[in-house]
Structure 1
Amino acid sequence: MAAVSERLTRRVMRRAVRPAVAASLSLFAADQAAAQTAVADPFFRQRGQAVRDRPQPAYDALGLRVGGFTLWPRLQSAAVFDDNVFAAPTDHRAATTLRLTPDVTARSDWGRHQVQGYARLDLDRNLNVSNENTTDWRLGGAGRLDVTQGAHLTLGLDLQHGHEARTAVGTDPLTVRPVAFGGVSARLSGQRTRGRLRLDAIAEVQRRDYRDGAYAAGALVEQDDRDRTTLTLTGRAAYALTPATAVYLQVAGDGRDYRRVPGRPDRTSTGRETLAGVDFELGGLMRGDIALGHRRQTFDDPRFGDLDGFGGRGRLTWFPTALTTVSVAAERAVADTGAVGAAGARRTDLSLSLDHELLRNLILSARAAHVDDAYVGRDRTDRRFSVGLAADYRLNRRQGLTADLNWIDQASNGAAPGPRYRALRLTVAAVSRF
């Protein structure tokens, strides 16, 4: 893995972001006397407070103090009803799953610097189809080093073992069991604020390994060509025009190194994205972050044409009242995929969500999303529409109830279309916090 990371680093630095990252890192050598005080931070964007971010002193868990750390243990017990457990186009099969999710988060209470970590376990036991039973886990942590006032470095590490959902975007085969995978990621970031100027530099490495699956007849479903190591480097420079508005330029490059499998196309590629954007806040009424630019993904295999064109992302959060939050988000990006014969997909993602605090201890939510995937190397376009409703009811500091209803409608077109299906899922859970 070290050799792969070294090769990816050279490629990405050469083709994409060496100048931006170097400029961002150089600012850390600046004199501490020029650092900006947090009191007059021109990049502060929390004057409007989202419903789910607002403190609830009567219902928020207090945590457990252990030395210089606070622990927040949590246990969720859920029942999940799915009317199409295999995401099949016809002959839908309903099933009920019992899910147990214990997790704990720890965070330091120090005046400077910070260390935090988390651990989570997901136990799914299907009452109707035993092959759908899964045991997943995640483990990770991060540390922040406050170099000077206005400058810090952050290092994070995450480990994961999971299973791909039947309804995951870009999946193809209907295997006997959900496809399992393992993942590890590391992230190093630095930020320096000096007056009205803020520079960020981020380096992230991700490794994903998939386990082969099998059809009901016993035939192997090869997944090795999905194994990959991805290196992403990002540099960003922002300038505050006013205390509530900043413009920025962001340059990012990525190298995606896939495992070579005989008889399968090589999905390895190198990408570059340049965005110009603005983040702003209109008092306590609205805040947003909108960026537009150019995205290019170049594939090593000559059978795949390069992706070259418009890129961008944006998010607007509106606070019509103190009890309601409305969010709209959009993104155009290049996504990895499990579709056989495809190197990736040009993804357009749109979403809308609404949170309303009906009572101090009851939050109601609604959401809608549309995802469009146009595949590279395969004549296939997936269009997915989903809507959902949710309720979060807190009985007291330690006990709560949640309910979530989600509906998915996926269509697929082209000479080699993917799965088409509809699925309705209801999740009801009891939550214990400490």
Structure 2
Amino acid sequence: MPKPTDSAARRHNAWRNAAAVLVACTCLYEPAIAFAQSTATTPVLQRRTDSRVATALRQNQAETEAVAGTDDAATTDQDGVTTQTVTPPVFNAGDAITDEPDEASSPYEQQLNPYEPTIDGGDVDPSAATNLTPGIRLGTMVLRPTISQTLNTEKQNSSGNSDRRNYMTTGIRGTLNSDWSRHSLTVTGDGAWERNFGGDKSGEEPRASIDADLQLDLAKDTTVNITGGYNFSREDTDDPNALNDASVQSGVHEFSGGVAVARDLGRIRGLAAIELQRNVYSAAKAVDGSSIDLSARDRTGGDVRLRAGYELSPALIPFLEVSSGLTRYDQKFDDTGYQRSSRTYGAKIGTELDLGEKMRGELALGYLRKSYDDQRLDAINGLSVDGDLSWSPQRGTDVSLGLRTTIEDFAGGSQGGWVSHRLTAGLTHQLRNNLVARLTGQITRRNFPSGDTRDVTEYFTAAGLTWSLNRYLDVTGDISYQTTPVYDTGTWRIGAGIAFKR
């Protein structure tokens, strides 16, 4: 018959062996739990253990961190109970190790209504990443260029006569964005060169433009925008200042620059801006091949704008704006003997609208007046409607609307100028992930103060498709029509081509 002391010793040994087995199983089970978790949700596991095995757990925890590189931690409360937090690795066993994403692959054109991540962390619609290119990193800047080549045909109808030309257009455009932590710089460029088939240069309309915007965040509520730009275009044959006896119209060089300071004082929004512009006209080419000097139209202008707004809500900010401008021609008298230097005054009242990702923009009504140095030229004045609006009714669909009123000068004669009202509209819709449709329209109304000159309304509409074979290559197709009923003119243009992006 065994002794009682022997039975107690055996029972004590049995409990000690069971505790050792429990500790060993716990150490083996610990890594299995960590590697069994899904990387999509990255859960955190907590386990409460008795203080007698806390030392073994902490030792096992240190070994696991040294091998797997986890950030697990264990803490002991006042009751001697240990709570261990186990964070699983960010990848599953057997997953391929990928490089960090390149910052240059981020989109450079902000969508008005972008795709948002799903609540459970799943993937968004793949169309959100359509047409994104990595770009070319230049230090702290990212350049994203596009080169296009299109074949086009154009047919012009004027008073029963028609003229057709076939031509090739080479375009280049690009965006240069800064990658700074505080300030920002954006430079955009666009240019197109046309070449007719057959050697005839009539009708060719090259164009080029570049604009830069440097935004400086001087303080929490103060920003400064410094802008500069250059634009070249051929004067349109339907322009009131176009020459009737010219085979090639004048080329217009426009240089611009400005500084704008915006300041927020509580609910009050203040803005002060100065803008400068220089216009230079190259010589036109007559039908007989001679050169027509148009340097008398060269001029320099400047404008000062002051705006004050009040924030009724973050979505609605009414404002009042006043402006004054001065235009000086290089030559005191034009070719017809008139002094066309002038002063411009304006005032308008409107509101800024910001409804987040759905709609934003502004709309204003006002009054414009331009008076000339020559007393023989009557002052031009009229009501103005200005604004721009961007609306995204659903993801993948964007609608834009623009209104602008300006006073333009005649190149010569006994009239000072006219009032121009312009309405532009655009619609883009994503038919598929890689197929985008475009529709644009424009109406220009020119009101002449003299009854001897009829008012003119010009209409323009265009439609196009862009098929993205991949994010580096697009196939495009466009068709447009422009007409001026008063002059009985109409122009059709059809083109198709490809665009290479980087």
Q: Which residue of 2 aligns with 1:98?
A: 168
Distance 1:360 1:55 in 2: 5
Deviations 1:158-193 (A, max 9, x none): 234442243557534251223223232111111122
- Closer, same or farther in 2 for the Cα pair 1:80/1:253, shift >3 Å? farther
Q: 1:319 aligns with which of 392, 395, 401?
A: 392
- Closer, same or farther in 2 for the Cα pair 1:430/1:133, shift >3 Å? same
Distance 2:414 2:162 in 1: 27
2:427 pairs with 1:363: no
Higher RCO structure, 1 or 2 (CA under 8 Å, sep 6+): 1
Q: Which residue of 2 aligns with 1:49?
A: 113
Deviations 1:111-144 (A, max 9, x none): 0122343454432111142344565544453322
SS in structure 2 opposite 1:76? Answer: strand
Q: Which residue of 1 aligns with 2:377?
A: 304
Is the 1:267–1:344 Cα contact (8 Å) retained in structure 2?
no
2:267 pairs with 1:196: yes
Distance 1:376 1:268 in 2: 18
SS in structure 2 opposite 1:242? Answer: coil
2:285 pairs with 1:226: no
Letter in 1 for 2:251: A
- What is the CA-CA distance between 1:292 and the residue it aligns to? 1.2
- What is the CA-CA distance between 1:264 and the residue it aligns to? 4.2
- Which 5+ residue runs of structure 1 have no aligned equivalent? 1-45, 413-418
Distance 1:181 1:352 in 2: 25
- What is the CA-CA distance between 1:218 and the residue it aligns to? 5.0
Percentage identity across aligned positions?
Answer: 21
Structure 1 segment 248-397 matched on structure 2, within 5 A = 248-258=319-329, 259=331, 260-282=333-355, 285-336=358-409, 342-376=415-449, 379-397=453-471
Letter in 2 for 1:402: T
- Closer, same or farther in 2 for the Cα pair 1:104/1:282, shift >3 Å? closer
- Closer, same or farther in 2 for the Cα pair 1:360/1:62, shift >3 Å? same
- Closer, same or farther in 2 for the Cα pair 1:47/1:388, shift >3 Å? closer
Letter in 1 for 2:161: D
Is the 1:50–1:325 Cα contact (8 Å) retained in structure 2?
no
- Closer, same or farther in 2 for the Cα pair 1:58/1:291, shift >3 Å? closer
- What is the CA-CA distance between 1:83 and the residue it aligns to? 0.4
SS in structure 1 opposite 2:133? Answer: coil
SS in structure 2 opposite 1:92? Answer: strand
Q: 1:177 aligns with which of 248, 252, 271?
A: 248
Distance 2:251 2:291 in 1: 14
Is the 1:225–1:264 Cα contact (8 Å) retained in structure 2?
no
TM-score by length of 2: 0.68
Is the 1:172–1:340 Cα contact (8 Å) retained in structure 2?
no
Letter in 2 for 1:71: L
SS in structure 1 opposite 2:491? Answer: strand
- Closer, same or farther in 2 for the Cα pair 1:343/1:283, shift >3 Å? same
2:217 pairs with 1:217: no
2:218 pairs with 1:147: yes
TM-score by length of 1: 0.78
Q: Which residue of 1 aligns with 2:277?
A: 206
Deviations 1:332-357 (A, max 9, x none): 33134558664322112223332222
Letter in 1 for 2:474: G
Q: 1:78 aligns with which of 134, 145, 150?
A: 150
- Closer, same or farther in 2 for the Cα pair 1:91/1:221, shift >3 Å? farther
Distance 1:347 1:92 in 2: 28
Is the 2:297–2:334 Cα contact (8 Å) retained in structure 1?
no
Distance 1:294 1:189 in 2: 22
- Which 5+ residue runs of structure 2 have no aligned equivalent? 1-109, 116-125
Is the 1:233–1:253 Cα contact (8 Å) retained in structure 2?
yes
SS in structure 2 opposite 1:373? Answer: strand
- What is the CA-CA distance between 1:241 and the residue it aligns to? 0.2
Is the 2:336–2:412 Cα contact (8 Å) retained in structure 1?
no
Distance 1:122 1:296 in 2: 36
- What is the CA-CA distance between 1:371 and the residue it aligns to? 1.1
Is the 1:69–1:107 Cα contact (8 Å) retained in structure 2?
yes
Cα root mean square deviation, aligned: 2.9
Letter in 2 for 1:431: A
Letter in 2 for 1:405: I
Letter in 2 for 1:320: P
Q: 1:111 aligns with which of 150, 157, 181?
A: 181
- Shifted more, 227-236 versus 324-333: the winner is 324-333
- Closer, same or farther in 2 for the Cα pair 1:379/1:302, shift >3 Å? farther
- Closer, same or farther in 2 for the Cα pair 1:50/1:202, shift >3 Å? farther
Deviations 1:178-227 (A, max 9, x none): 32232321111111223322211111111111122232135654523322
Distance 1:432 1:218 in 2: 38
Q: Which residue of 1 aligns with 2:17?
A: none
Structure 1 segment 120-131 matched on structure 2, within 5 A = 120-128=190-198, 129-131=200-202
Distance 2:345 2:179 in 1: 39
SS in structure 2 opposite 1:199? Answer: strand
Is the 2:377–2:414 Cα contact (8 Å) retained in structure 1?
no
* Higher strand content, 1 or 2: 1
- Closer, same or farther in 2 for the Cα pair 1:58/1:350, shift >3 Å? closer
Letter in 2 for 1:312: V
